[in-house]
């Protein structure tokens, strides 16, 4: 799978108007969403905590009111009574508000998960790249600067983003390279990357050989990557067998069984045979396919 480079400017744009509108009023709600600040930092979404909270509250309220108004208008036009229209609109508004709130609230966490997957895929190659540069006696700061430039066109590199954050702290905040890495460790999305930076920091502080550390770590990460690739192949084999069973054999058996029962006559559990066949065709099979697609998306490498 190819991941296009993500630009968070749209999120920043969306958060401006709500924050300007709500202003100081949002501070009373920001404490409720205290845990969101760390997720924003780990997701590298460059939006202030209070601005993102303002965006959540504004668009949740706007979405709920809009859905309520549209539903009540559609209900009245369709000839429903006022009580029915208000009841249906309240339910739809509540459902819509809940969905919008959960989506906006969980978006940073989803971005953290995506960044973690991509970063852990990149880490063995980044470690090898750093080992080669360290072998050429390049200092740590220049090594990180080189990582910021390895991003391929049209591809998102989380390692390059993390390196840019470290170099930014060095250039604009006055940190030395070790302190910048220590600062970034607190917000790194991947535990493996945290361990890698911790080892880098420890070796640098104790005067050890960075080249030896990079070489050993790169070899260990490559071995781990090969093992993960073999495990992925085994898992995909199991999913392929499950696909054949759930999407080919099972529907055929059910349809054949229902066809035979339809020829004999009668129903099954009070439901007509034709209805059950339609249920299998239009609901059960697509639902099973969706479950398998979601399962594949969760285990497949990002690219």
| Euclidean distance between the first and the last CA atom of the chain, given in angstroms as a whole number | 4
Q: What DSSP designation does 151 have?
A: P
Tokens of 41: 């930092």
Q: How confident is the model over 196-215, as a mean pLDDT?
A: 88
Rounded Cα–Cα distance for residues 38 and 53 (Å): 13
pLDDT in tens, 31-89: 777 778 888 888 888 888 888 888 888 889 999 999 999 988 888 887 778 888 888 88
The model carries a pTM of 0.72
From its phi and psi, is residue 83 left (phi > 0), alpha (psi between -120 and 50) or beta? alpha
Which helix (H) or strand (E) segment is 76 a member of?
helix 49-77
Tell me how far CA of residue 289 lies from CA of 248, 280, 298, 301, in angstroms: 11, 12, 14, 20
Q: Considering Cα of 302, then 115, then 231, then 128, what sign does the dihedral take?
A: positive
Q: Is pLDDT of 98 > 90? A: yes
Burial 23-55 (b: 16+ CB within 10 A, else e): eeebeeebeebeebbebbbbbbbebebbbbbbb
- Cβ(64)–Cβ(90) below 8 Å: no
Q: Is pLDDT of 1 > 70? A: no
Tokens of 7: 């630009």
Q: How confident is the model over 130-143, as a mean pLDDT?
A: 88
- The strand pairing partners of 268, in sequence order, are 271
User: Tell me, what's the pLDDT at 22?
Assistant: 74
**Does CATH number 1.10.533 belong to domain 117-225?**
no
């Amino acid at each position: 799978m190819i991941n296009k480079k993500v630009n968070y400017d749209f999120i920043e744009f969306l958060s401006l108007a709500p924050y300007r509108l709500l202003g100081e009023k949002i501070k009373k709600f920001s404490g409720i969403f205290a845990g969101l600040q760390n997720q924003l930092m780990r997701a590298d979404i460059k939006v202030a905590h209070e601005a993102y909270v303002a965006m959540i509250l504004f668009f949740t309220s706007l979405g709920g009111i809009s859905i309520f108004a549209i539903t009540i208008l559609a209900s009245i036009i369709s000839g429903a009574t006022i009580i029915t229209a208000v009841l249906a609109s309240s339910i739809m508004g509540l459902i819509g508000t809940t969905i919008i709130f959960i989506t906006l609230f969980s978006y940073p966490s989803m971005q953290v998960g995506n960044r973690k997957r991509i970063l852990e895929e990149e880490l063995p190659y980044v470690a090898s790249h750093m080992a080669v540069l360290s072998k050429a006696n390049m200092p740590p700061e220049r090594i990180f600067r080189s990582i910021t430039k390895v991003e391929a066109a049209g591809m998102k590199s989380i390692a390059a983003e993390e390196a840019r954050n470290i170099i930014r702290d060095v250039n604009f905040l006055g940190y030395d390279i070790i302190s910048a890495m220590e600062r970034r460790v607190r917000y790194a999305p991947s535990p493996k990357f945290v361990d890698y930076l911790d080892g880098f920091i420890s070796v640098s502080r104790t005067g050890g050989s960075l080249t030896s550390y990079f070489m050993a770590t790169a070899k260990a990460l490559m071995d781990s990557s090969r093992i993960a690739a073999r495990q992925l192949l085994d898992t995909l084999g199991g999913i392929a067998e499950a696909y054949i069973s759930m999407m080919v054999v099972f529907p055929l058996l059910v349809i054949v069984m229902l066809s035979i029962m339809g020829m004999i006559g009668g129903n099954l559990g009070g439901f007509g045979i034709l209805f059950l066949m339609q249920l299998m065709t239009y609901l059960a099979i697509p639902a099973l396919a969706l479950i398998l697609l979601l399962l594949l998306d969760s285990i497949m490498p990002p690219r």
